Structure 1
Amino acid sequence: MEDFKKNKRVTFYIDGFNFYFGLKRTRKSVSGWKRYYWIDVVKFFESFLGEGQILEKVVYFTASPLSPAKNSRQSAFLNMNKAINGNRFEIVRGKYYEKPFTCPYCSGAISKPEEKRTDVNISVRMIGDCVLDRTDIVALVSADSDLVPPIEFIQEHYPDKAIKVYFPPSNYSNDIKDNLIHHRSKPVLLIKNQRRFEAAIVPDIVQHGAKTYTIPDKWKGE
């Protein structure tokens, strides 16, 4: 009787701000990268799947910016991806807060927005999906060293679950890299995968059913 080999389910957990600001830093020094703000993220990460692997889901962790203009751009990107990918794309939101601090120049009391909960949300979801056996391969898209503890927890308690890490462009973590090397793996550097970004670009105007999704004006051109 022929052996039946079940396909390995792969779930991508994207640290949205780590991913976006990695792209933003890269495009300041390398021309052309602004085009990759407006991509089909499911198509992009699905292109990394190997033989015998299937995409379970892409989970995008972020928070709504306090700036109306920034929030509008983010919403356009997220809504477009949700529309074209359906249940294969999930959004998990954290929070933005105004964090008070003292200005180092004038000693006045000012505030700045600070994103919260994303690393906790990612940690809980990765571990939860392992506990509930919802995935076989945990694919983390982040270079945030705060995510080393959940990686170590999964490695210790769920050794049958494989872990892959993808570093967003211009972002790097020696702590995560050292952990992976210890477990005979290594991070994937997305900055070296420009062709995959190119292949995942969507038209400036995406029509899906009765709805239209348009690239934000600020994201057009280079």
Structure 2
Amino acid sequence: MAEQKRGRRTSFFIDGFNLYHSLRTAERLLPHTQLKWLDIPALCRSYLPMVGNGAELEEIHYFSAYADHLQKEIPQKPERHRKFTRALTASKVNVHIAKFRKKKVWSHSQKIWLEAYEEKETDVAIACKVLSLAQKNAFEVAVLITGDSDFSPLARTFK
């Protein structure tokens, strides 16, 4: 029996916060449109024809962090995010959760130090996952879904 030829094994790596903020912007531009519960596997499958050569979906990796620091002001937000990541996991998406770190930032307008939070480790986790899976020959094509130019060195290294 002849072995069936497979298409190009394609894995997706999604910067979750970058995607989330892009969807929020789109919702502001398209009133009465709700995009935050985007079907990520369907989005990834829709990219496969652009990859070409009979591309096949291998894996989807979604990277984010829970904004637990918002619990006091918007209590439902962190729980909605957890529900979304559970839905992704149920859809066979590999979810990778980083963290937020508190930092002090200077407010020039108020002339005081304020507490702020920034997402940490997500970009490095994406880069490490792409390179480790590439080393294992786990895919032939890597698609990064992000608007972050910090990934340019990763793309050059991978290429």
Moved over 3 A (4+): none
Match for 1:53 among 49, 52, 55?
55
RMSD between aligned alpha carbons?
1.9
Is 1:107 equivalent to 2:111 in the alignment?
Answer: yes
Q: Separation in 2 of the partners of 1:78 and 1:3?
A: 37
Residue correspondence of structure 1 range 19-34 to structure 2 within 5 A:
19-33=19-33
What corresponds to 1:75 in structure 2?
A: 82
Q: Write out per-residue CA displacement over residues 43-93 of structure 1, whole angstroms, 9 at most, x where no aligned residue.
A: 22112223622211110000111212321121111112212x1xx311111
Q: Separation in 1 of the partners of 2:14 and 2:7?
A: 22
Residue correspondence of structure 1 range 70-219 to structure 2 within 5 A:
70-83=77-90, 85=91, 88-155=92-159
Q: Separation in 2 of the partners of 1:3 and 1:63?
A: 42
The higher relative CO (CA closer than 8 Å, separation ≥ 6) is in 2
SS of the residue corresponding to residue 44 of structure 2 reads helix
The one-letter amino acid of 2:113's match is A
The one-letter amino acid of 1:80's match is A
Identity %: 25
| Cα distance change, pair 40–29 in 1 and its aligned pair in 2 (3 A) | closer
Instruction: Give TM-score, length-normalised by structure 1.
Output: 0.63
What corresponds to 1:64 in structure 2?
A: 66
Instruction: Give TM-score, length-normalised by structure 2.
Output: 0.86
**Aligned residues of 2:15 and 2:146 also touching (Cα < 8 A):** yes
Q: Deviation at 1:11?
A: 0.6
SS of the residue corresponding to residue 138 of structure 2 reads coil
Q: Deviation at 1:145?
A: 0.5
The one-letter amino acid of 2:54's match is G
Task: Give the aligned length.
Answer: 151
Q: Deviation at 1:110?
A: 1.3
Q: Deviation at 1:21?
A: 0.2
Q: Deviation at 1:150?
A: 0.8
The one-letter amino acid of 1:67's match is L
**Aligned residues of 2:27 and 2:35 also touching (Cα < 8 A):** no
Is 1:40 equivalent to 2:42 in the alignment?
Answer: no
Q: Deviation at 1:24?
A: 0.3
Structure 1 residue runs without a partner (length 5+): 156-222
The one-letter amino acid of 2:110's match is C
